[in-house]
């Protein structure tokens, strides 16, 4: 697989990464751990060198899974994890917590769970309005100086906060949702990242599975699946939003690619410093996603996608209102 550098940093990773959250969290019952370890290791065999996790996924069990799976590949792969939530003894999130002392505690615990000597990329999971971002960036800077962290990242942050953090400790990557059905980052975030030399790591690059073309208004999700509370996934909104999937399928027929591959190839074509991290628990999906690296979209292809997409109105919010309030700060 081709490699990409995240912004102006020296952090070089595979053009497509692997989001590991769904292997233990958010999309229904967790799959078998041994099968997920095998899947992660297969991803390495296929050229993936960039893996995304967080202490909040589970919580904790996703980091443990990723750490165990990637232990044989120390020094050959990049693992990104996150801090920023207070987690109770019962495993429930108790709100945000990016106090300097908490960041340090999380870093130490993540190092143990990931079985690494240094965290490759340490994201603030969500902006904490109760802690000045300068204090957050300064704490990560100290961890970098101590050799416990290599690079600093942010997730779902707004441009003013990104600039303030970047002035204290250079931000290597911003992770936020971005895909053909969530394009808000194009308004302010992408121009700012380009100006500052910060890489962009889109999560949910396949619209939480919708852009694969395997979900319609009749699809039933497990009761524990996060998508049950997402407005964009109501049956009526899914039915309306299939127009976007039809567009991807139409382009895919001509390029001999799947809708998912076209969606990922579109992201890769946006900027050379964009690295999407689609998640999956299935080998055939992993292989399909990685195959997007071989799909070359021409300027005519991109124009056709842009023209057609501009005529499609995506229906439904991407998050429930209370979750959306945590983003773009």
Residue 66 near residue 53, CB atoms below 8 Å: yes
d(Cα 18, Cα 280) in Å, to the nearest integer?
8
**Nearest Cα to 290, choosing from 62, 30, 42, 66?**
42
57 is catalytic: yes
d(Cα 87, Cα 49) in Å, to the nearest integer?
29
Measured CA to CA in angstroms, residue 189 lies from 34, 72, 186 at distances of 38, 36, 6
d(Cα 120, Cα 98) in Å, to the nearest integer?
19
**Nearest Cα to 200, choosing from 131, 115, 271?**
271
Write down the catalytic residue from 27, 57, 151, 178: 57
**Phi/psi at 272 (5° precision):** -75, -5
d(Cα 165, Cα 43) in Å, to the nearest integer?
33
Residue 20 near residue 279, CB atoms below 8 Å: yes
d(Cα 314, Cα 308) in Å, to the nearest integer?
12
**Largest pairwise CA distance in the chain:** 54
Q: Active-site residue numbers?
A: 57
């Amino acid at each position: 697989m081709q490699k990409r550098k995240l912004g102006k940093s020296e952090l070089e990773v595979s053009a497509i990464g692997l989001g590991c959250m769904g292997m233990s969290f958010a999309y229904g019952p967790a799959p078998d751990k041994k099968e997920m370890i095998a899947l992660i290791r297969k991803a390495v065999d296929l050229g993936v060198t960039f893996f995304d996790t967080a202490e909040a996924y589970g919580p904790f069990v996703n980091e443990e899974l990723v750490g165990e799976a990637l232990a044989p590949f120390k020094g050959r792969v990049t693992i990104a994890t996150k801090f920023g939530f207070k987690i109770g003894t019962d495993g429930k999130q108790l709100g945000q917590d990016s106090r300097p002392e908490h960041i340090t505690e999380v870093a130490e615990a993540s190092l143990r769970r990931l079985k690494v000597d240094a965290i490759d990329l340490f994201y603030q999971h969500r902006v904490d309005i109760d802690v000045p971002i300068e204090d957050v960036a300064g704490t990560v800077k100290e961890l970098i100086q101590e050799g416990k962290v290599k690079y600093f990242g942010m997730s779902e942050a707004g441009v003013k906060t990104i600039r303030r953090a970047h002035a204290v400790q250079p931000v290597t990557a911003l992770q936020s949702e971005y895909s053909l059905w969530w394009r808000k980052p194009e308004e302010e975030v992408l121009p700012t990242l380009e100006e500052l030399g910060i890489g962009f790591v889109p999560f949910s690059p396949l619209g939480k599975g919708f852009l694969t073309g395997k979900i319609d208004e009749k699809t039933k999700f497990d009761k524990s699946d996060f998508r049950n509370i997402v407005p964009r996934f109501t049956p009526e909104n899914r039915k309306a939003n299939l127009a976007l999937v039809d567009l991807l399928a139409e382009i895919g027929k001509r390029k001999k690619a799947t809708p998912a591959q076209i969606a990922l190839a579109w992201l890769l074509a946006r900027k050379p410093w964009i690295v999407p991290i689609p998640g999956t628990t299935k080998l055939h999906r992993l292989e399909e996603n990685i195959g997007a690296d071989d799909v070359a979209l021409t300027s005519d292809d991109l124009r056709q996608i842009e023209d057609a997409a501009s005529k499609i109105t995506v229906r439904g919010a991407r998050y429930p209102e209370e979750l959306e309030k945590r983003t773009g700060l």
